[in-house]
Amino acid sequence: IEREHFPKLMNILRRVDRGIRLTEDDIVWLTTKDDMYGYYTTELRERYHENEAEFYAGEFKKRKDPWFAVNASSHYRKCEKAKTADSMLNAISVSRLKNIKLKSALCTTHGGVKRDLGKHNEALALGEQAHKLTPKDFRPCTLLGAVNMETGNHSLGESWYKKSIERGASEKSVDNDLRSIFMRAEQDKQEELRAYLLGKDPDRYSWVRMSPQKKPRGNR
């Protein structure tokens, strides 16, 4: 740790450790310094999201406003607590809500949770429900693109990603999504996705050539 950064970084670490939420300035500082010094570690990032999730979940319990559950779910997913998010979202009766955007947001975030838990059919159903509710929103399209890509339905996944970009998602965010899916995939699915992407656009997806092959399970 650079000497001039030590007091601020230690202050951040102590607050995070005590469950105190970080400010926007803290996050900007961490992400700015991370490229050079690597201060915003995976552990710190997960603890930050855990604190945020607990805050929004607490607000949801107090105020009964489902928008807080949407925010909590997003943070729970980023700290590997999809099961906690699933339990919270299961307690909300979406059919009783009147706000269309809220219903769509709940379906989309719950679909993402189901995706994290490997329940792809449920994730697809929730994504399709969200898309019907808000057909001009890119978020359900992104979810449906990701789940289809993960399950090997590459053409369908690509079509949903195209719809996502048409509705406002950036090409960069879609490519980052694909990169994440590729890196997490088992070797056989990884090779299938590599071949598909290179066949579609070898320049745009040139990174799959450089990505290391995933070793089969059991190899050491």
Q: What is the pTM of this model?
A: 0.92
pLDDT in tens, 159-201: 999 999 999 999 999 999 999 999 999 999 999 999 999 999 9
Residue 211: the pLDDT is 64
Widest distance between CA atoms in the chain: 55
In 3D, which of 172, 170, 108, 167 has the Cα closest to residue 143? 108
pLDDT band at 220 (very low <50, low <70, confident <90, very high): very low
pLDDT in tens, 38-68: 999 999 999 999 999 999 999 999 999 999 9
Q: How far apart are CA 139 and CA 104, in angstroms?
A: 9
Percent of the chain predicted with pLDDT > 70? 95
Residue 218: the pLDDT is 47
pLDDT at position 143 over 70: yes
pLDDT at position 5 over 60: yes
Helix, strand or coil, per DSSP, at residue 20:
coil
pLDDT band at 214 (very low <50, low <70, confident <90, very high): low
pLDDT band at 1 (very low <50, low <70, confident <90, very high): confident
pLDDT at position 152 over 90: yes
pLDDT band at 210 (very low <50, low <70, confident <90, very high): confident
Residues 6+ apart with CB under 8 A from 25: none
Q: Angle 128-151-88 (CA atoms, 0-180°, nearest 5)?
A: 55
Cα pseudo-dihedral 175, 176, 180, 181, rounded to 10: -30
pLDDT band at 213 (very low <50, low <70, confident <90, very high): low
In 3D, which of 54, 53, 47 has the Cα closest to residue 26? 47
pLDDT at position 87 over 60: yes
